[in-house]
Structure 1
């Protein structure tokens, strides 16, 4: 048997594993059982849109529809002058902002979300723009908040 994983760094969150050990017998794949017991389908659909967002093409750039404002584009373009720099600014998401009610989550959970978001954005960008190349980055701001952003790399798929 060969196992292939599109999320090679994924691991079951510790809180779900602990929850699964409380059952008799302990649950295998506790994360999946936790979803069955606690998650509404509408939550999955909403998270799905975050993971696979809509994009806007504007003046040669590619932007997250959920964050794009034409006025902001022109304001940042006047300051930064380079389209990839403007893309990085307008396309960034702070992970802490997505979870304002989750003050008890361990830092590794926030970073895992950032890595997952980056992986799915790479796939979504590749699907929507197969002839373009993008650099999707995960970093941390000065407060340790994971940040995900993307910009075109300047290459095309054929280069």
Structure 2
């Protein structure tokens, strides 16, 4: 389960967070908090999990869904009542992202 932190009201996966990179993204994205969260809270399966030889799309998809379920569970436990979205998208392979929609 990931450890989640809150920075300036944005829920972030601690292991994905770097203060300097966060500020770089903030300068680029402005006040779009959902986009800022998606930029920080992303896990690209192909970049993080080693594969012996050929990629197995089914296994990569299963890994992404498992990671998303872990993030979703932690977000619901640590930040009840908040509308935190965790989804798997196809961005250079299966990628898990987490954000709160802009209101």
Q: How does the TM-score come out when normalised to structure 1?
A: 0.59
Helix, strand or coil for the counterpart of 2:101?
strand
The change in CA–CA distance for 1:108 and 1:101 in structure 2 (over 3 A counts) is closer
Match of 1:147 among 92, 95, 103: 95
Are 2:14 and 1:77 equivalent residues in the alignment?
A: no
Structure 1 stretches of 4+ with a deviation exceeding 6 A read none
Contact residue 118 and residue 136 of structure 1 kept, 8 A? yes
Paired residues in the alignment total 102
| Rg comparison, structure with higher value | 1
Give the CA deviation at 1:153.
Answer: 2.7
Are 2:50 and 1:100 equivalent residues in the alignment?
A: yes
Which string of whole-angstrom CA distances, capped at 9 and with x for unpartnered residues, describes residues 112-135 of structure 1? Answer: 111111122111100010021111
The structure with higher relative contact order (CA 8 Å, sep 6+) is: 2
Q: How does the TM-score come out when normalised to structure 2?
A: 0.88
Which string of whole-angstrom CA distances, capped at 9 and with x for unpartnered residues, describes residues 15-62 of structure 1? Answer: xxxxxxxxxxxxxxxxxxxxxxxxxxxxxxxxxxxxx10012111111
Cα RMSD over matched residues?
Answer: 1.6
Which string of whole-angstrom CA distances, capped at 9 and with x for unpartnered residues, describes residues 55-90 of structure 1? Answer: 121111111111101111111111111111010010
**Equivalences for 1:124-143 in 2 at 5 Å?**
124-141=74-91, 143=92
Give the CA deviation at 1:104.
Answer: 4.2
**Equivalences for 1:2-151 in 2 at 5 Å?**
52-81=1-30, 82-141=32-91, 143=92, 145-151=93-99
Contact residue 56 and residue 64 of structure 1 kept, 8 A? yes
Contact residue 53 and residue 121 of structure 1 kept, 8 A? yes
